[in-house]
Structures are given as structure tokens and as C-alpha cells.
Structure 1
């Protein structure tokens, strides 16, 4: 398959695969710092999935097999909590020894967010439909994994969602109207 790809596709693929390796390695570095069994379960599940997805991409690119993109099945989440409830101040740690579950979850969240952007952007450069779809699904997977981590953080009060006054929210939402369908000939 490599000969059938353009230079820009190869460069994008290199970036995506390197980013995936970096993400797996980053998550493995986090593992010793996790205290909460729920977060450890999420982390372990995501490392396993990311490794499987990486191997699937490599095998597809190296023409060992044509693979379907693998969808991520996240651990069941609960309804989000809205509003601020005495959020704790954040500051950098003085050393890696101070890393806690909030630091790990926040790092995981940031990794998935940036990987989702990278993979979706890369997918826009691919002519090969299998790899294009694989990268699109991988970006969706990052979105699902980030939501899983965000939901964990939200449940634990680590990621609170500020709200606006109902009048402000309603005013902003109602400032949009329906569009008229254009008359096409």
C-alpha cells in the first residue's frame, strides 16, 4: 500500500502513528501515579485499545491485511453535573511525586483532545478510502475516550462546568432563527 500513497499521506500517517506511540507511552508513565481503581480501569482499558488501534493501522498500511476501523466502546458514563461547587485551585506540581488522579486524568484528556484534532485533520488529506475512514474513526475514538475521562473528572468534581444565568442562556440560544431553503434550479 505504501507505494499507492502520496507524499503528503505518508507524512500525515507518520505524524499520526508517532502521536499514537507517544500517547501510549504517556499513559504508561501515568499508570504508577493512579490511586483510584475507577481511573486505573479507564487508563488500562484505553492503553489496551490504543495499542490495538495502533497495531491495526500499522498492519493496514503495511498491507498485511485490509482492516476495518475499530470503534471504541467506552465505559458507561453518568449524566454530567453542571455548575461550580467550590472548585479547588490548580497549580503546577513541584515534582512528579506530587502527581495525583486529577493530574493523570487531565493529561489523558489533553492527549485525546489533541490526537482527535490531528487524526481528523490527517483524514482530510487521504485519498485512500480505507485509511481515510480508519483515521476518521480514530478521531471519533479519541473523542469518545476524552468524553469518558471528562465524565470521570466531572463525577469527581475535578472538571466542573460553569453555567450562565437562564436568561442569558435563553437569549443566546434564541438569537438564531431557521434558514429558508434556497430555491435551486
Structure 2
């Protein structure tokens, strides 16, 4: 009887999705720990440390909820400190990108790029898992965690954009306007009240 009370009611497919996500979360935390020693910029160090702390707490909340220890069921939203306006356009910096010859060559651009890649892949993996989960509490947590990854990616991207590490190419204004104007609202439903 006692063993039945401690059982977690979750499907095989769901447990495999959670296993993949939790493994990815562990890898992300481990990677961020490795990257700490390569940060030179104090601002990037702060971003990395705050995100590492957030990621570690989020992992613990997932494990506790999955194991029904804390039954927390909700994750915190990420609060970012970066409030900048993106810089658009490409400026040739004259330094072509190439893989580093050794680990000792990692610089702040490399660290930020690795952080960004971790969050982008985490967001995709977690959203995919959320679409497969049937437990509403775990699904909501997974969705919030995917959003948190997206927010951490954006925070990292803003730092990279500000430093010129991640530039935003643009079309000429005529092409941009032509593409934007190629779509129109749906007139059939836009003026009707929805009644249920």
C-alpha cells in the first residue's frame, strides 16, 4: 500500500521527455560552470552568474515536482537587467570567424555565443516536451521553462548585439515595406464579435 502512494502517475512518453529535458538542463548548468573562468567582461560575468543560478533553481524545481517532493508546479519568470535598443545593420569588423585552436582562446564572444546556443536549444526542446506532456502541472512548468530559456537567450543576445558580436542584417526599406504589405488582416472575422 505504501509503495502505491509514492508512485508518480506519468506516462512512459512523458517520462522520456522529462528525462531528455532534465539531462539537457544538467548539461546547460555544467557548461555555464565551465564558461565562468573564460569571462573577461564584468557585465557578461554577471549575466552568466545570474542565469546559472536561475537555471540551477529551475532544475531543482523540476526534479522536486517530478518526484512529488515539493509539488511546486510553478516556475519563476526570469527578470532581466538588460534594457537596450537593438542595433540594426551590418558593420564589417575585418575579423573573420573561425574555430579556436585551443580552449585557451575562448573569449567573451565565444562565451556569449555558447550561452545563446544553450538557451535556444533548451527553448526548443522544452517547448517540444510541453506539447507531449499530459499532466497539466508539468506542462505549465515546461512551457514556462521554455519561455525562460527564450528570455535568457534574448538577454544574452542583447549583450552580444550591444558588443557587436551578433549583428542584425536588414533589407533595404523598399523590400521591407513590400514584404510587410504583402499580408492583410482577415476581413471576414476582424469585425465580428466572438460569441460562445
Q: Which TM-score applies when normalising by structure 1?
A: 0.96
Whether 1:13 aligns to 2:18 is yes
Among 54, 58, 62, the residue aligned to 1:53: 58
Partner residue in 2 for 1:85 = 91
Distance 1:164 1:2 in 2: 56
Deviates further, 67-76 or 32-41: 67-76
Distance 1:101 1:121 in 2: 30
SS in 2 for 1:139: helix
Q: CA deviation at 1:77?
A: 2.4
For residues 105-116 of structure 1, the aligned pairs below 5 Å read: 105-116=112-123
Among 130, 150, 154, the residue aligned to 1:143: 150
Distance 1:112 1:57 in 2: 17
Q: CA deviation at 1:74?
A: 1.4
Q: 1:103 to 1:2 in 2, by over 3 A?
A: farther
Q: Which TM-score applies when normalising by structure 2?
A: 0.90
Whether 1:34 aligns to 2:24 is no
Q: CA deviation at 1:3?
A: 3.0
Larger radius of gyration: 2
Deviates further, 142-151 or 57-66: 57-66
Native 8 Å contact 1:2 1:61 kept in 2: no
Segments of 4+ in structure 1 off by > 6 A?
Answer: none
SS in 2 for 1:77: coil
SS in 2 for 1:48: helix
